[in-house]
Amino acid sequence: MKKWLLLLVGLLCCASLAWAGFGYQVQMAGSVPAVGASYACDASTADICEDWDDADTFRLTWTDVTTGGTISAAAHAGTLSCTDKGSQAITLTYSSQADLYARTDLGSAQAVLYGSVYFIITDRPNAINGTYRTIIAGGGQTDGSSAGIRISIKESTSDQLQVGAFYNSTTQLGTFTNINEDTWYRVSFLRSSDGNATNANDTVTWWLNGSEQATVTNADLVLVQHPRYITLFNRDEVAESIGTSVQIDNLELDYSEMPSACP
């Protein structure tokens, strides 16, 4: 079914590339690269995928807000396990206390959304302390606020980097897990709602490197926070984040199943 849908998109859409923001703003590609092409995210493994490499493989339109720094495509830092999926990642560097994020529009709110993305913290000159810095969020707001699902990083009281998840804007999903700088991590999530204003059949789960970290069933998910907008990085940045650099790569989103480990 996904292959037929992708073929239909290919017939109906035309490739369009407009340079803006963090180097590009790309419309849905007019032709889908061959499955397994070494330079492209494999569209057969997810409904939506993005690897920020060659322009003809981009599938999403990105809008960026760079008041607080820069967003660009750059070569991978460190060692990424998905070595056959291109050489570039989206790279963010905070330079001031202001908004810094990229956003894409799924077109409609999604009651069920599976997501997976890789990230690495490459530079952290100042302690970010107990404040939460967003890696990826999905919700109904264009700036990533009041998100239905959010993966964030923070520091413990001993300056240990940690990653964790939230749903319904501010409800923590399980506990935060220790991570290190200069190491790639894969975070995945499921946010599933039955579409009713009750808690029955609502589930939220998040994973780190394929290991389940926490699950909440009967989660009573907020309907207006169903993900329509996917945002990367953070609004209302704090001064402590100045100088911090983050890379993100291999974003996958699916409406019915968890995407594969490498797109």
Average pLDDT over residues 107-135: 83
pLDDT band, residue 201 (cuts 50/70/90): confident
Q: What is the mean pLDDT of the chain?
A: 76
pLDDT > 70 in the chain, percent: 71
Residue 216 has pLDDT above 50, yes or no: yes
Query: 25 or 97: whose pLDDT is higher?
Result: 97
DSSP per residue over the chain, as a string?
-HHHHHHHHHHH----EE--TTT-EEPPPSSPPPTT-TTS--GGG-SEEE-S-SGGG--S--EEE-TTEEEEEEEPPS--S-TTS-SEEEEEEE-SSS-EEEEEE-SS--SEEEEEEEEEEEE--S--TT--EEEEEEESSTTS-SEEEEEEEEE-TT--EEEEEEETTTEEEEEEEE--TT--EEEEEEEE--SSSSSTT-EEEEEETTEEEEEEES----GGGS--EEEEEESS--GGGTT-EEEEEEEEEESSSPPPS--
Q: What is the CATH number of domain 2-254?
A: 2.60.120.200
